Amino acid sequence: MDTTKKTIILFSGEFDKVMAALIIGNGAAAMGDEVTIFCTFWGLNILRKTEKVETKDKKTTLKSMFGRKMPKGTKKLGLSKMNFAGAGSPMMRRATKDAGGMSLEELFDSAREQGVKFVACTLSMDILGFTKEELIDDVEFEGVAAYLGHADEANVNLFI
Amino acid sequence: MDTTKKTIILFSGEFDKVMAALIIGNGAAAMGDEVTIFCTFWGLNILRKTEKVETKDKKTTLKSMFGRKMPKGTKKLGLSKMNFAGAGSPMMRRATKDAGGMSLEELFDSAREQGVKFVACTLSMDILGFTKEELIDDVEFEGVAAYLGHADEANVNLFI
Amino acid sequence: MDTTKKTIILFSGEFDKVMAALIIGNGAAAMGDEVTIFCTFWGLNILRKTEKVETKDKKTTLKSMFGRKMPKGTKKLGLSKMNFAGAGSPMMRRATKDAGGMSLEELFDSAREQGVKFVACTLSMDILGFTKEELIDDVEFEGVAAYLGHADEANVNLFI
């Protein structure tokens, strides 16, 4: 089994797009590939701890606003389509379970267990006001130059 | 003319994004490339037969719900932007015709005639409750491992 | 420093997606790569001159309608998420400035100064009714075949 590299920029934070990214990431890891999922903008939300984290420095109103308005972790994500005012996402969870598929949380855990590397985009963190302690463990912190370094070594690079 | 491979994951089901995917697919096929368009989530809608299909097994309410709420085939797709409550899509159809461009249906037919391979993602089918008989003919049924196999052989891989 | 090629199809016209495309484009150009950003559909808006341009031929109502309803240049773009009826985009501009990041206009100028090639998709121009004189200078005009030519020579190809 050849090991090749894959990168995914996870820009989107919707349930269905995160699910697509994690299915591809898990599939590639299962085939022995090195996978990097570079979480930027709304994709950063999946890396947020669900509990409240006290940060050392007081955040500006603007920074705390983005943080308050956006979901923490994978559990509260809405669908990009057919969201039905929030009902679409539980419906898709139920349909996935009925189909014998893995839940979003299982996909995320599985990806991490299989060694998929989750990276938090540091520029997006600065803009949205997320600190390192607000994100889950085992996340790496990189900028666009590091992403491009991974992408140059990979044979499949997706933007989701 | 070198033959190379291209893959497109068609995740989105909006008129304009489907159009972009089909224009790229047709263009690459015209240049002699092998093109695979892997339809997943909302992209599956373009592969649905427009007529009602009786399925052997009764569907759960949940599964029939996704099917009832979503468009069948390419004719009823809305725009991702400037949709104007459904008016945007006919406007773009008209503007495309005025510009001498191919209609979405012509692009789809042309892609199939040129040998672009349309694949239905089997996991998405299971989740959204679509059976093989509800999809048009000449569609292949594959999962993420098969997609990755195509992508590994391709030099351009897009997620739309 | 090896020079390799990168292509980005900029299909989307939202502030955050344009920003992502320009950050990647600038980053790659800074590493010595040849970058082509192929602007199509809503992505064309960033190439529009902000001032009113008299066109030789009178436009049909349909063509002038798309033009009137869509933003010209980078200054009026909304966010794809958290738009808050238009307030999201100024908030993100402010947050980016507070984080010491470049503004969207600075990113655009920097990309052009670094030699990132901006291409206007001619088919999209015809559909949306944009003429060459309505777009900014130093833009190239190409179709899907030319895009595929660039992509075939590139090692990273993204669709945003």
* Tokens coding B58: 């009764």
Identify the CA nearest to C122 among candidates C101, C104, C140: C140
Rounded to 5°, the CA angle A88-A92-A94 comes to 120
Tell me which of A3, A14, A81 to substitute to probe the interface with B (most B C-beta atoms closer than 10 Å). Answer: A81
- Residue A28 confidence (pLDDT): 98
Band (pLDDT 50/70/90 cuts) for residue A20 is very high
The answer to whether residues A69 and C82 touch, using CB atoms and an 8 Å cutoff, is yes
What pairs with residue B156 in β-bridges? B6
Interface test with C, best of A76, A80, A159, A160 (most C CBs within 10 A): A159
Q: How far is B95 from chain C (nearest CA, A)?
A: 5
Query: Based on the number of CB atoms within 10 Å of its own CB, is B28 exposed (0-12), middle (13-18) or buried (19 or more)?
Result: buried
Size of interface A-C (CB pairs under 8 A): 68
Cα–Cα separations (whole angstroms), residue C159 to B8, B96, B100: 10, 22, 25
Which chains have 3 or more CB–CB distances shorter than 8 Å to chain C? Answer: A, B
Flag whether residue B127 sits within 8 Å of chain A, measured between CB atoms. Answer: yes
Which chains border B (3 or more CB–CB pairs < 8 Å)? A, C
Between strands C5-10 and C34-39, the pairing is parallel
Is A62 in CB contact (< 8 Å) with chain C?
yes
Amino acid A99 reads A
Q: Which residues of C touch B160 (CB under 8 A)?
A: 11, 159
- Say if residues A7 and A24 touch (Cβ distance below 8 Å): no
- From the list B4, B80, B101, the residue facing C152 with the nearest CB is B4
Of B31, B91, B158, the CB nearest to C157: B158
The whole-angstrom distance between residue B64's C-alpha and the CA centroid of its chain comes to: 20
Burial of C71 (0-12, 13-18, 19+ CB in 10 A): middle
DSSP letter string over chain C? ----EEEEEE----HHHHHHHHHHHHHHHHTT-EEEEEE-GGGGGGGB-SS----SSPPPHHHHHHHHHS--SSTTPPPSSS-GGGTHHHHHHHHHHHTTPPPHHHHHHHHHHTTPEEEEEHHHHHHHT--GGGBPSS-EEE-HHHHHHHHHH-SEEEE-
Neighbours of B32 (CB within 10 A): 11
Q: Where does the pLDDT of residue A87 fall: very low under 50, low under 70, confident under 90, or very high at 90 and above?
A: confident
Q: Which residue in A159, A160, A157 sits closest to A149, CA to CA?
A: A157
Does the structure show a pLDDT above 90 at A23?
Answer: yes
Contact state of A20 with B13 under an 8 Å Cβ cutoff: no
Structure tokens at A92: 């898709």
Residues of C in contact with A66 (CB under 8 A): 82, 91, 95
Q: How far is A65 from chain B (nearest CA, A)?
A: 26
Where b means 16+ CB within 10 Å and e means fewer, C80-99 reads: bbbbeeeebbebbbebbeeb
pLDDT in tens, chain B (160 residues): 467 999 999 999 999 999 999 999 999 999 999 999 999 999 999 999 999 888 877 788 887 888 889 999 999 999 999 888 888 999 999 999 999 999 999 999 999 999 999 999 999 999 999 999 999 999 999 999 999 999 999 999 999 9
B102 burial (CB, 10 Å; 0-12 / 13-18 / 19+) is middle
Give the residue from chain C lying closest to A13, CA to CA.
C81
Of the candidates B41, B66, B143, the beta carbon closest to that of A20 is on B41
Q: Which residue of A has its CA nearest to C31?
A: A145
- CB A127 to CB C92 under 8 A? yes
Q: Does C6 touch chain B (CB under 8 A)?
A: no
For residue B31, what are the CA distances in angstroms to A12, B103, C38, C140, C149? 32, 20, 19, 22, 10
Out of B101, B156, B160, the one facing C151 most closely (by C-beta) is B156
Structure tokens at B53: 């299909």
Strand, coil or helix: A135: strand
Tens digit of pLDDT at every position of chain C (160 positions): 467 999 999 999 999 999 999 999 999 999 999 999 999 999 999 999 999 888 877 788 887 888 889 999 999 999 999 888 888 999 999 999 999 999 999 999 999 999 999 999 999 999 999 999 999 999 999 999 999 999 999 999 999 9
Average pLDDT over residues A105-126: 98
**Residue written as token pair 């379970």:** A97
pLDDT of A1 over the 60 cut = no
DSSP B130-146: --GGGBPSS-EEE-HHH
Beta-sheet pairing, C117-121 with C140-142: parallel
Q: What is the pLDDT of residue A2?
A: 61
Is 0.90 exceeded by the ipTM?
A: yes
